[in-house]
Structure formats: structure tokens, C-alpha cells
Amino acid sequence: MEFIHRSRRLRANQMIRDMVRETRISKNGLIYPMFVMEGTGIKEEILSMPGQYRYSIDKWMEALEEVTKSGVRQVMLFGIPDHKDACGSGAWQEDGIIQKALQKAKQQFPNLYYITDVCMCEYTSHGHCGILDGSYVDNDKTLEVLAKTAVSHVQAGADMVAPSDMMDGRVLAIRQALDKNHYVTTPIMSYAVKYSSSFYGPFRDAADSAPAFGDRKTYQMDFHNRKEALKEALTDVEEGADIIMVKPGLPYLDILREVTDHVNVPTAVYSVSGEYSMIKAAAMAGYVDEAALVCESAVSMFRAGASILLTYYAKELAVYIEEGRIG
């Protein structure tokens, strides 16, 4: 039998497979999430995220040295304060944990790019992502403190802010506040499509941010919904978001693809703590090849349309790219 079309011609050896590869990734598209806390001399492993740590600022400087050596150039910063209150005042104070960490990092590692998570859940005594009115998160009152927090981060040295709270109108509120304070060139990466997900469990251990009561379903998205993702993404673009994020990653590749096809700004995806911990646990049990699974998972998210990947495996992926395992 004679064939005209033989797909295997383009799979014959590694050179031709590399040449015709459709999805290519680089270290430039990786962002490494990191956790900084008060104190000194602290490098505390997160039990539900083996290999990930909470750092005091001095130990974070050592960790940033490792990040630099890996070739990763962008970090996402989460702060863990000593003191929490009902309005999350530690989020915007000049001597807050994020503000102090940024000032130090900018001095010692000015060539890294610093993105800060803008939310209230790490700072509020109740663990919710905004200001409470009774037991309900008051959307509009929260906008003011989010905007104030974003400005304080940029004043301390943040290169980009990333609101993750899922309050309506927060991108516009932050954009207006940044512009008013002459930070017109500071980009916003919006957690625009953030589902209410069970995959966040280990992160809440890391950031000590679990809600003291109830859940976050009145502001985070219902994972049954697809069209709502497009509404959220397009609304945030209209309000001034420069990058749109989808979160979580692997369980939402269909959403990532659809959002990427409909927005005219870059799309990021956050491979969240639960995704990391599942792979890590399976690898530690000897069930999977960790490196192979990390590479395949990362490629799947770029293939689905992401141009930016936030992942706790960023340093390892940078090495795998350098080694030619993926790229």
C-alpha cells in the first residue's frame, strides 16, 4: 500500500522533531512564587509542599541567589505578617513584610523582576479577601484598601502588581490609584479567572490564609462555569489589566485556551499548590518520573495558550529548558 501522507516522516529523529515543534517555551515565561515572613534566620519548609519554604527576609536573600542562578528572572511575592486585624492593615503599611522585603531585594537583586500578590487574606484576622460587613465581604469597601495596598507595594519597589481578591471593579480601582500616584507604567496582572478550588489547600497552609468561617464562593468563581470566565477576563481587560491570569492550571486547560483566544493581552496561568503537591507526593512515593511529569504538565499549559507560567517548579523547569528536555 502506498501513502501520500506519512506523519511519521516528521518524527524520525530528534532534530526534525525539534524543528517542527509547535509549542516552545523559555525561562523568560516562568514566574516563581515565594513566601516571606517576619523574623530572622528562618527557612521553614511547608509541610504540605515539600521543597517549598517560608523565609525571613535575610534567608529570602539567600533564596533569591538560588533563583538568579537557575535563570528564572521573575518572582511572585506573598507576605506573612506577624499581626493580623479585621481590616488587614499590615497589607499597606510602610513597614509591612512585603514592603520591607521589596526594599531589601531591590538593593541586593535589582535585576530580578518583582510581582506582588494584592489581596487581604494573608493579613485579615478572619482570613477573607476583603473587608467584612457582618459575615459578608463588602466589595466596594475592599476596593479602597486594595488600591492603597497596590500603591504601597509599588512605592516599595514592586515592578508589577497582581490582584487576586476577585472583587468586582478592583482592576479599575488599582489602575486609577496607580495612575494618580504617577505609576502609569506599572502593569497589572489580574487574577481574572480564579475559581473556587480545592487545589488551593497547601497554599493556605503556606500563607496561613484559610478563612476562619465560611468559604470564598461569593467572590471566587464556580468551577462549573465557562462563559463566566470570558466575562471576567474581558471586564478586567476593559478596566486596564495588562495580563490576564487563569487559576488553577491543569484542571482548567479548556478555560485557558478559550480565554487566550478571546483576549488581546498576554495570558498567564498559575499552576497552584495542589498541583505541585500532587506531583511531588507521587514522585516521592516512586509512582512517577517527577522531571518528565513536570515538563509535560508545563508544556500542556503553554500549548493551551499561556505565555506566562507561575509555578513552584520554576527553578527546575529552567534547568530542564537549559538541558534541552523541553523548550
pLDDT tens, 262-301? 999 999 999 999 999 999 999 999 999 999 999 999 999 9
Pairing of strands 243-247, 267-271: parallel
pTM: 0.95
Neighbours of 22 (CB within 10 A): 5
- Per-residue pLDDT at 163 exceeds 90: yes
Whether 180 is a known active-site residue: answer: no
Which triple of cell numbers denotes residue 105? 531585594
How far apart are alpha carbons 276 and 271 in whole angstroms? 7
Least confident of 38-47, 77-86, 123-132: 123-132
Whether 247 is a known active-site residue: answer: yes
How far apart are alpha carbons 67 and 65 in whole angstroms? 5
- What sign does the dihedral 274-275-281-284 (CA atoms) show? negative
Catalytic residue among 27, 84, 104, 247: 247
How far apart are alpha carbons 124 and 130 in whole angstroms? 8
Which triple of cell numbers denotes residue 191? 487574577
Catalytic residue among 27, 84, 148, 194: 194
- Please write down the HEC assignment for all residues of the chain: CCCCCCHHHHHCCHHHHHHCCCCCCCHHHEEEEEEEECCCCCEEECCCCCCCEEEEHHHHHHHHHHHHHHCCCEEEEEEECCCCECCCHHHCCCCCHHHHHHHHHHHHCCCCEEEEEECCCCCECCCCCCEEECCEEEHHHHHHHHHHHHHHHHHHCCCEEEECCCCCCHHHHHHHHHHHCCCCCCCEEEEEEEECCHHHHHHHHHHCCCCCCCCCCCCCECCCCCHHHHHHHHHHHHHCCCEEEEECCHHHHHHHHHHHHHCCCCEEEEECHHHHHHHHHHHHCCCCCHHHHHHHHHHHHHHCCCCEEEECCHHHHHHHHHHCCCC
The reported pLDDT for the residue numbered 80 is 93
How far apart are alpha carbons 208 and 275 in whole angstroms? 18
The reported pLDDT for the residue numbered 207 is 65
The reported pLDDT for the residue numbered 204 is 76
Q: Would residue 225 be called left, alpha or beta, if left means φ above 0 and alpha means ψ between -120 and 50 degrees?
A: beta
The mean predicted confidence, pLDDT, of the chain is 94
Residue 154 amino acid letter? V
- Per-residue pLDDT at 138 exceeds 80: yes
Q: What is the largest CA-CA distance in the chain?
A: 76
The reported pLDDT for the residue numbered 212 is 66
Residue 205: pLDDT band by 50, 70, 90 thresholds?
confident
The reported pLDDT for the residue numbered 266 is 95
- Per-residue pLDDT at 98 exceeds 70: yes
The reported pLDDT for the residue numbered 326 is 86
User: 235-256 pLDDT, tens per residue?
Assistant: 999 999 999 999 999 999 999 9
